[in-house]
Amino acid sequence: MAKDTAGPLRLLRETHEERVLAVLRTEGAMTRAQLTEQTGLSRATLSSIVQDLLAADALTETAADDGTSRGRGRPVTVLTLNPAGGLALGMDLGHRAVQVTVANVAHEIVGTTGIACSERTTWARRLELAISLAESLAAQHSISLSALSGVGVGVVGPVGHASRSSRAQLVRDGLNERFGVPVYVDNNTRLAGLGEAIWGAGAGLRNVLYLRLSYGVGSGLVLDGHLFSGAGGAAGELGHVSVDPEWPRCPCGGTGCLERYVSLSAVLEQCGVRSFDEVLELLTAGDERVHEVIATAGGRIGQVLATACNTVNPETVVIGGELAEAGAPLLDPIRATVRKYTHSQVRQGLEIVPATLGHDDAARGGIALVLRRSALLAGYPAATGPGSRDRVHDIG
Amino acid sequence: MAKDTAGPLRLLRETHEERVLAVLRTEGAMTRAQLTEQTGLSRATLSSIVQDLLAADALTETAADDGTSRGRGRPVTVLTLNPAGGLALGMDLGHRAVQVTVANVAHEIVGTTGIACSERTTWARRLELAISLAESLAAQHSISLSALSGVGVGVVGPVGHASRSSRAQLVRDGLNERFGVPVYVDNNTRLAGLGEAIWGAGAGLRNVLYLRLSYGVGSGLVLDGHLFSGAGGAAGELGHVSVDPEWPRCPCGGTGCLERYVSLSAVLEQCGVRSFDEVLELLTAGDERVHEVIATAGGRIGQVLATACNTVNPETVVIGGELAEAGAPLLDPIRATVRKYTHSQVRQGLEIVPATLGHDDAARGGIALVLRRSALLAGYPAATGPGSRDRVHDIG
């Protein structure tokens, strides 16, 4: 757990309200005066933060046990964390599985659970599955879902800022009806990137390019500490970068798209096997043909990554998805190609590492959306510059 | 002027403190009570904003003429814009010219002036030139440079967030010594992009990719309303994207870089002429060879732009630099290639337009840096989401 949450705790606790929450978490109930002393914040700052946290149901205020009052002033009260406040639910409605994760008021992951589904499963059905998984998680960890501050959901396909896509709408309406809290929907690959940038291989970094290599190829960008969607919610469509101008059109409308060459299905076909486990076995066995296929894929992926890196100059590229399990035979050619085709300033200090989160990467990204957008974390001063850590407070 | 400043006024006035400044600009001196009524802000919000604006010397407070007081309360005072507050100076120390632009407290461009210099001119000398240009501008418009709130400067080459590059340091120290105000230094192509995103072809848009096609090829990204620099200040190095994996190394460390093919010098050589004016004449005259050269360059530029657009999904791509003056013979092949190699969601609504600002594009970007970072505009609530206009408040 400690390791898992190092990312978000380091990031989120840098903000004032997190300092207040942290003190209450560790020290328990206390008066405003004690809190001022403990947090080292000015009385004015503290009182405005406490006011917002109370409004957000993150804190509860009760009269001090001794019931004393300060003469003309209002009676002394003590503040405590609201045990029913700040619960965040993350969901990933993926192609082949539905995953649900829940985090508590301390922003610690309480539990996660998932279930496989067929590609033909309707979105309405996936939604039902997600809701029942959430209910079983709640029961298992004796959490009341009435205490949710929001739900963050990853879905397949591009999702714009003001997404009016029927899929996003179906999910938003269904979950809002069930839980009566704000629902934030985004592309699940992008949310997996956000998850990796907070809890995973990019924990604590402000500029992370996450690339998922699975049946589809997509990416998620965390730039200056924000999850970046682009004008139409299609930022990070690296699976549809052309690696062969002569190749016929791709269903996406592009030509010679990377995905046609390095998707899991394409790689399986090129290796002449039916499952990726066979690919991994053949790699371990030193099969030259399979090593060649994986190296070629790595080269193509590296070419696209090089241009993407010259564009956004990330600190780290995180490679996820089944294909990443190939390890060095894939990552080494990717690294060599990116090194070869990037500007020296872009290459400098750039790391290319495998993802570290499991099936719940996108669900965790959904939780980050909730933590970032819920009243609990919104509305505090903006970053004062590109280098500011505060901006991370605004992540998502 | 009105047209020129439509961008920044629309963007910046959306913030509370801008509303306060706007009222005082148009209505003149008034009391807090009158200001509350005029701005429609809550008394608490207004008073905190007024406090910050006074601290930033953007406002001055004086006793009301009639000198009456509110009994037990403090005497009634009136607030006015500080005529000596909020002046912003923008400078561009380019390869072949130095440009200086000044904006007033109303964020309106007061004046701009420039001077050509040789590529061999030292940076110390360019700095002297910029300072004397600033002084002549101030004299010409009877502005006191003692009223500066900051200087924003564009320089050639990558500039990181905490730039310790000797060039940036020389500029920062020299200007700080001369003016005694905060100095913000960034890459001048990036600042030109910021200028276009506020005052130019991208005015009012939140996601703009600016590409400058000159002796060098570089770009500037405004993402979610922020000027984006990347982890090492090298974001937007599109001139160093490989368009030919077989081509020998480029001084940048890359291979087959776009700049080697489409820089102004490369294009002049391919056309067999000495000046770009000759190229423009030959284009007008319908010279097939020159049209071919420009079209080929457009195709290569389009390929690189397509990948960059698939990565960051901008609303608009703004093409600047001398080469952009070729117009349709260059822009049409660029548009066709980008259309062909982008994801349908990325292509949707994407516009590729020529830059509209002149020589002072980067200097204006420098002014935007000052407006954004000076106390006058810093420290207010963060954006509440990718779609929020507030984020623009944080531009740069």
Residue among A233, A343, A382 minimizing CB distance to B252: A343
List the alpha helices (DSSP H) in chain B: 2-12, 16-27, 32-39, 43-55, 123-140, 166-179, 188-198, 259-262, 264-271, 276-284, 288-312, 328-341, 344-347, 361-373, 390-393
Q: Which of A258-272, B209-223, B378-392 is predicted least confidently?
A: B378-392
Q: Are strands A351-354 and A87-93 parallel, antiparallel or unpaired?
A: unpaired
Helices vs strands, H then E, count in chain A = 15, 13
Which one, of A116, A123, A233, A118, lies nearest residue A171 by Cα?
A123
d(CA A340, CA B359): 35
HSE-CB of A149 using CA atoms within 13 angstroms:
31
Residue among B230, B387, B394 minimizing CB distance to A312: B230
Q: Do A313 and B349 touch (CB under 8 A)?
A: no
- At B160 the pLDDT is 66
Comparing alpha-carbon positions, the chain B residue that sits nearest to A315 is B231
- At A374 the pLDDT is 52
Which one, of B60, B4, B70, lies nearest residue B30 by Cα?
B60
Comparing alpha-carbon positions, the chain A residue that sits nearest to B157 is A345
- Per the structure block, which two tokens stand in for A385? 């510059």
pLDDT over 50 at B318, yes or no: yes
Domain segments of chain A: what residues? 6-81, 87-191+360-377, 203-356
Residue among A304, A349, A381 minimizing CB distance to B380: A381
Q: Do B313 and A255 touch (CB under 8 A)?
A: no
One-letter amino acid for residue A329 of the chain: P
d(CA A276, CA A1): 30
d(CA B369, CA B89): 10
- At B387 the pLDDT is 28
- At B48 the pLDDT is 80
Dihedral sign, Cα of residue A199, residue A205, residue A208, residue A213: negative
- At A369 the pLDDT is 86
Residue among A241, A346, A387 minimizing CB distance to B237: A346
pLDDT in tens, A154-175: 999 877 655 556 888 899 999 9
- Residues from chain A contacting residue B231 (CB–CB below 8 Å): 206-207, 313-315, 349-350
Q: Do B230 and A303 touch (CB under 8 A)?
A: no
Q: Do A382 and B373 touch (CB under 8 A)?
A: no
d(CA B244, CA B260): 10
Q: Give the bridge partners for B60, in sequence order.
A: B80
The number of C-beta contacts closer than 8 angstroms across A and B is 216
Average pLDDT (B163-188) is: 87
A341 backbone dihedrals φ, ψ, rounded to 5°: -110, 20
User: What fold characterizes domain B87-191+360-377?
Assistant: Nucleotidyltransferase; domain 5 (3.30.420)
pLDDT-based confidence at residue B384 (cuts at 50, 70, 90)? very low
pLDDT tens-place values along chain A, 396 residues long:
333 333 333 333 346 776 787 677 667 788 999 999 888 888 887 888 888 778 777 788 888 765 555 555 667 888 987 766 668 899 999 989 999 999 876 567 889 999 999 989 999 999 999 999 999 999 998 888 877 888 999 999 877 655 556 888 899 999 999 998 889 999 999 999 999 998 899 987 889 999 999 999 999 999 988 899 999 889 999 999 988 878 777 888 778 899 999 999 999 999 999 999 999 999 999 999 999 999 999 999 999 999 999 999 999 999 999 999 999 999 999 999 999 999 989 999 899 999 999 899 999 999 988 877 653 333 322 222 222 222 222 223
pLDDT in tens, B327-376: 999 999 999 999 999 998 999 989 999 999 989 999 999 998 887 765 33
Q: What is the CATH number of domain B203-356?
A: 3.30.420.40
d(CA B79, CA B63): 9
- At B13 the pLDDT is 34
Comparing alpha-carbon positions, the chain B residue that sits nearest to A209 is B311
- At A271 the pLDDT is 97
Q: Do B240 and A342 touch (CB under 8 A)?
A: yes
Q: Do B310 and A237 touch (CB under 8 A)?
A: yes
Q: Do A224 and B221 touch (CB under 8 A)?
A: no
Distances in Å between the Cα of A122 and the Cα atoms of A2, A98, A129, A170, A203 are 37, 12, 11, 11, 34
The pTM assigned to this predicted structure is 0.78
| Interface with A, mutate which of B17, B250, B303, B307 (most A CBs under 10 A) | B307
Contact yes or no for A298/A334 (Cβ under 8 A): yes
One-letter amino acid for residue A357 of the chain: L
**Chain centroid, CA A247 distance in Å:** 34
- At A21 the pLDDT is 77
Q: How far away is chain B from the Cα of A9, in angstroms, using its nearest Cα?
A: 20
Q: Do A230 and B236 touch (CB under 8 A)?
A: no
- Residues from chain B contacting residue A318 (CB–CB below 8 Å): none
B238 backbone dihedrals φ, ψ, rounded to 5°: -70, -20
- Residues from chain A contacting residue B378 (CB–CB below 8 Å): 382, 384
pLDDT in tens, B90-148: 999 998 999 999 987 656 788 999 999 998 999 999 999 999 999 999 999 888 887 78
pLDDT in tens, B16-39: 776 787 677 667 788 999 999 888
Q: Output the average pLDDT for chain B.
A: 83
Which one, of A298, A54, A277, A303, lies nearest residue B243 by Cα?
A303
| Interface with A, mutate which of B207, B217, B343 (most A CBs under 10 A) | B343
Element containing residue B91 per DSSP (H, E): strand B87-93
In terms of CATH architecture, what is A6-81?
Orthogonal Bundle (1.10)
Within this chain, domains A6-81 and A203-356 share the same CATH topology: no
| Interface with B, mutate which of A338, A340, A346, A347 (most B CBs under 10 A) | A346
pLDDT-based confidence at residue B65 (cuts at 50, 70, 90)? low
pLDDT in tens, B228-248: 999 988 999 999 998 887 877
- At A255 the pLDDT is 82
